[in-house]
Structure formats: C-alpha cells, structure tokens
A and B are shown apart, each in its own frame.
Chain A
C-alpha cells in the first residue's frame, strides 16, 4: 500500500492552524462557497449519500441516509446537534480535530446545516475538553465576523446560528438522545426510540445528530468529491446485502502498551497489527501483546491472534467484537492480568450507567463486583458463568434496556471470558491476587 497522505489531519502542527486566515489560505471554506453557489441542499445530501460516509461516532449509520429521515417541507425549526461528547474510553480523535483544526469541522457543520435546512446548530462538548471549547469559541466568532455564520451566509439567503453547550462529566451524554436531554437541561436519560431524533429530537423538533469527525469528512466530500472519498476503504461485502461498505479516511487512536501512542489517519480497513507495529512503534519493552480493545472498550476485546482483523465497519464483528466503534485501539501486553483489564472495564460501566434501566444499573454493578472478586483472588468458577449471563442479558439487543450503553458494557465481559477463559480459570483455581493497585474505595 502506498503511503497515505492525511487529509483530516493535514493541517495539524502547522503554525496557527486554528485560525480562519490560515484555514482559508489552505483552501478552507472553498467547499462551502461551492455548495451554496452551485448545489441545492438536496444535491449536498445526495453527494454525502453517494459517498457512502458512515457516522464516525461508533454506530456507523450512513450519514446521508440519516439526513433524509427529516420530514420534507417542515416549517422549522430543524436543529443540528453535534455530538462532541467523545467519552468512549481510549478515544481522543475528536479532541485532536477540534484543538488543531476547528474550521475544518465548522465548515462541515455549515454544510450539514445547509443540506438539512437547520437554522440552529448546537455543538455539545464534553466538559473535559476545555481547550476544544475555547478553540471552537474563537473559531465560531471568526466565522460570524466573516459572514460564514449568522444571517444571509455568503449572501445566499441562508441563515445559521451556532451555539456551544458544555456537558458535565457524564458518559451517557454521548448517547444521542441522552445528549438531547442534557442539552434541554435535564438529566441525560436516553429516550425510547422511535421517535428518532430526525422526527422528534431537540426541543421536540426534527434534529440531526452527527459526530465531529463525520462532519469534518463532509467538508472534504464536497471539496474533493465523492470519487475521492470512495477511492479508499473497503467495498461492501458481496455476501452481506445490507453492508454499505466502509469508505473514506478514518482517524485511529493508539494507546496503552505501545512505544508511540498517538493518532493516525488512514483509509478504513487497516489491521490492528499494522497500527501497532507500523504506526504505534510496536509493543513496549520488547514484549508481546496479550490483546487489545479495538475501538473503545464498548467494542470488546481482541486477542493477539486476532490482530490481523481489518478495522472497517465489519471487521471487528468477524472476531466477535461489537464493531468498529471509535477506531481507538488500546493494547495490553502479555504481562497484564486479564482480571485487571476486566475489572477496569467493568468499573467504568458501573460508574457510568445512567441508572434509568434496572438491568444496566444493577448488572454493571454486579459485573464489577465479580470482576473485583476475581482480581482479589476470591473468585469462584461459577462467577464466569454469571458474568456471561449478565453480559448477554443487558442491552438493546436482548431488549432489556433503552440504550446501547449496556450492550457496550456486556460485550467486553463476554469477549474476555470467551477468549481468555483458561487464564481466568487458572487465576481463580490458584486464588491469585492481582499485584496491581486499584483503588476500589475510590469507586
């Protein structure tokens, strides 16, 4: 494969990459000027649909198709809600995009609003991303000053206001309807769907919810064209008639026990092994990997033997993981106890379950307690069976919860036990106490 030239990250590290002047000097807002001059909103939707762009936030829903779910000829308002709550553990690609090149994303916001006829865009950012917030606040002000936001944008009679909203440290706000509830000033309890946000979203009005990286891709689809976007990635699986393919560039995060953690942009479909060896500098201390999480911890766990799996929308599912997720790979080496990994993951979900659905609220808590028991050397062999049972019983898929947080909480547990059963059994039989420090009292 020839070296890939980054597009989304092309301006990262350039002097003053955040300013509107350098962005425009690099060809920024050209796509927006082209769209409002030459394309109808419907044509923008059609181009995004034709590109095959799928949401980068985790679920991979086709973006253009999502836009077509808005009611036709709606009197308005229609809202665009941008999901910048990036809270999936081990994920930081949106942070890099916003801190380094906010206008590339903002251009995508304006294009999406033009396409969907949204009058107002709310950009919901997790509170933890303070630098993103301040960078974006400045970028929005610059865009207003240059007539790219506000009334009569570029003199074409199209209006858009952008407002920033900040979260308050809750993972559940990344779930799209949890985000909308939070935006409305309420506790972020996800809504029962349908109605989907496109029909009844923010303030009970039709709303499009899109991820930050997704919108950054929209900018380049309009600028460089559909063919450019489709020239990379993985075409649809001929054996799966429902697979729309995995096209375009993707940001991958690499962290954990690697020599060179960071963010890399590649065409969809790179393997975990390539990411680690070629872009992550290999596993640290000359050790071997024991496994990795493939796209945020919700997606489950891959063993080292599964590292040749391509990270496109379908790849991780072939080895029993939940999906591509956020494309965030975290590696753990052969000396890491799987019991520690499982405990860390279950503790996260137990802390972040929003508490609305009993199976998730209780299930995540019990999974953490059992994982902790195993880690302390007090586990019982039957705990493994109970953990698997809970993992299978909570979530949208079994039909016991309103949102997918529980599916993501159960998946790594199921994967861990299925793929690392011999290690768990020997830890339990020997009563092995983990040597690593974990502050249980801190929960």
Chain B
C-alpha cells in the first residue's frame, strides 16, 4: 500500500473519532482524496476500504452514487465551475450562460478546458437564487452573472 500519501491517510484517520463506526468516514475520505487528487482513483478506493474495514465495492458504491466524485478517467480541472440551470436561474438566462461558457472553453458540460484549468459543469439549484443566474467556483457562490461577468470569470480562472 502506498498510493495515498501518508499525510492524506492521517487526515482520513483523524475523522474516525467523530463517528461511532468506520464506514461513516467514507464521505469525508472521498472528499479529502478528491480535493487533493481531483478525482478518486480505484487504487485510492481500495486503500480507503482497507483503512475503514470495508470492501472496496462498498466505497465504490458510495463514491459512484454521488455524481460529484470523479473517477480517474474524468479528473476535475484546477477549478470546478458549477453553473446553475434550475428554475430561478434558468428564468434569468442561465442556460445561455452555460452554453456561452462551454463554447468559450470548447467543452461540453462536464468537460475540462484543454489547459486543465477549468471544469465546467451544470448544477441543479445551488441556493443562490436571489443572485440568479449564479454559479459556484468550487464551493463559493458568484451571483448575478452576465455574459461579460462569465467571460471575466473564465479569464480570472485561467490565469
């Protein structure tokens, strides 16, 4: 074993005292791994499983349920740009903004720009409706987007 760094393993083990069983550390572990590696490779799932006394299939079952986690064939770019497409945002032009961002980056939703800087995804309601249309940069909201603001945002994230 040696796929996950010692530091990452220690961070995962540090979550154990919060819960009465080891399986509950699955989601925190998946988050920690994806934050660092931008995806959750199979080998990482095997190591998480060993640490938590689970079958790798149990970790994979959880990981693959949440569309949020990426496998090693589809790693995230440096930044995940999550553009809302639900009702409040859509009424104010969110689909056009998503389309615009995808064209600018030459990707489809879910894809990563060739320079690896930005993964653009659609999001279902991210709870920023008073600032619709909105998006998340990783987990921080950007509100009241316009075509110009999206272009500026893409430029900022590509630096």
Contact = CB atoms under 8 A, between A and B. Distances in A.
Nearest to B21: A203
A91 B125 contact: yes
A47 interface: no
Contact of B68 (A88, A169, A437): A169
A187 B61 contact: yes
A364 to B, nearest CB: 13
A437 B23 CA distance: 43
Contact of B138 (A130, A188, A261): A130
B62 A439 contact: no
B81 interface: no
Contacts of B108: 441-442
Interface stretch (B3-11, B71-79, B129-137, B151-159): B129-137
A352 interface: yes
Interface residues of A, number: 61
B141 interface: yes
Interface residues of B, number: 52
A255 B129 contact: yes
B124 A89 contact: yes
Interface in A255-269: 255-257, 261-263
A48 interface: no
A232 to B, nearest CB: 24
B65 A89 contact: no
Contact of A168 (B30, B58, B85): B30
A295 B118 CA distance: 34
A442 B67 CA distance: 14
Contacts of B23: 184-186
Most buried by B among A131, A185, A257, A328: A185
Contacts of A340: 90
A127 B131 CA distance: 19
A380 interface: no
Given A89-B86, A330-B88, A168 B69 contact: yes
Contact of A133 (B82, B136, B139): B139
B85 A77 contact: no
Interface string A75-98: 001000000001111111011000
A61 interface: no
Given A166-B27, A185-B25, A255-B130, A90 B86 contact: yes
B20 A131 contact: no
Contacts of A188: 65-66
A170 interface: yes
Given A185-B24, A253-B129, 14 more contacts: A89-B124, A95-B128, A126-B127, A165-B27, A167-B66, A186-B61, A187-B62, A255-B129, A261-B131, A344-B90, A348-B87, A437-B95, A439-B99, A442-B122
Closest 7 CB pairs of A and B: A130-B139, A185-B26, A187-B65, A168-B66, A255-B129, A89-B125, A169-B68
Interface of B: 18-21, 23-28, 30-31, 52, 58, 61-62, 65-69, 82, 85-88, 90-92, 95-96, 98-99, 108-110, 122-132, 136, 138-141
